[in-house]
Amino acid sequence: MKPLIVVAIFMILSLSSIEAKVYGRCEFARELANLGVPRHQIPTWTCIAQRESNYDTAARNWGSGDHGILQISQLFWCNVDGGPGKGCNAQCSQFRNNNIVDDVRCAQKIFDEHTRISGDGFNAWTTYRFCRGDNNRYVAGCF
């Protein structure tokens, strides 16, 4: 019986890693551009992704309840209890797979909401304090 449990756990972990992806810096920046993110924002988003998750789509912060490459908060933006919900009408697990389209769309929604509230949408991410100013080094040689 124990070998079956070990095999089952291994298969679950293998499937999880197949669904996740660690982006390269330029690969992430180019994907943002392909998704229509304004070009002037891409360096800052790339900095935030590096600082939040090291470009890992499977990243999860158990302490804060943040999920995915851009660390979307389960407090306000996604639901961990099964169904879609909260601000981005999504399950948090959706932000931990290799498809970052929903992550980027939710991040843009968060950005817009925080722009309305504070004047700077990037303030929603605590790592933004490290990403203020010129972030062009994060996209150097990418385009």
List the single range of 34-38, 84-88, 105-109 with lowest mean pLDDT.
Answer: 84-88
Let me know if 52 is a catalytic residue.
yes
Exposed/middle/buried for 91, CB within 10 Å: 0-12, 13-18, 19+? buried
Let me know if 120 is a catalytic residue.
no
* pLDDT number for residue 2: 55
Question: How many whole angstroms separate alpha carbon 60 and alpha carbon 9?
Answer: 19
Question: How many whole angstroms separate alpha carbon 40 and alpha carbon 134?
Answer: 11
In the chain the domains, ranked by start, together with CATH numbers, are 22-139 (1.10.530.10)
* pLDDT number for residue 15: 45
* pLDDT number for residue 5: 43
Query: What does pTM read for this prediction?
Result: 0.85
pLDDT at 18 over 70: no
What is the number of residues in the chain?
A: 143
Per annotation, catalytic residue among 52, 56, 113, 134: 52
Residue 50 near residue 23, CB atoms below 8 Å: no
Beta-bridge partners for 61: 66
DSSP 100-117: -HHHHHHHHHHHHHHHHH
pLDDT at 16 over 50: no
* pLDDT number for residue 82: 82
Per annotation, catalytic residue among 27, 31, 66, 102: 66
